[in-house]
């Protein structure tokens, strides 16, 4: 994958690269959030629509880290309150993301 093909997403003040996960680096993981590397890894062997699901899982980990979200217990409404602003900012700060996700649901992988 050329560097120019790498998906980059802004999460709060942090720019993340979304890269293929080396299957030997994480035994059973299909995705991996590495905040110190500012990287989200996704297993490229999964279908594109599954890569989207994994991306959102890892993005929630990134929200927790980039927005300093505490680990206090939350009910459904509190989880919604915590995630509404990061989700809105995700699409505001990454205007190409909606098209990228639509392309993935149409069969184009996020990572190869």
- Report the 3 state secondary structure along 52-104: HHHHHHHHHHHHHHHCCCCCCCCCHHHHHHHHHHHHHHHHHHCCCHHHHHHHH
The whole domain housing 46 covers: 3-105
How many folded domains does the chain comprise?
1
Is 110 part of a structural domain of the chain? no
Confidence tier at 1 by pLDDT (50, 70, 90): very low
Mean pLDDT of the region 19-42: 89
| 2-29 per-position pLDDT tens digit | 556 899 999 999 999 999 998 776 677 8
Is 12 part of a structural domain of the chain? yes
Is 112 part of a structural domain of the chain? no
């Amino acid at each position: 994958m050329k560097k120019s093909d790498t998906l980059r997403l802004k999460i709060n003040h942090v720019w993340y690269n979304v890269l293929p996960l080396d299957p030997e680096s994480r035994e059973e993981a299909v995705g991996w959030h590495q905040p110190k590397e500012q990287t989200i890894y996704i297993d490229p062997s999964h279908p594109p629509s599954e890569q989207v699901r994994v991306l959102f899982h890892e993005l929630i980990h990134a929200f927790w880290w980039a927005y300093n979200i505490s680990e206090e217990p939350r009910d459904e409404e509190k989880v919604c309150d915590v995630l509404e602003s990061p989700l809105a900012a995700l699409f505001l700060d990454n205007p190409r993301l909606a098209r990228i996700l639509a392309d993935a649901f149409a069969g184009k992988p996020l990572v190869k």
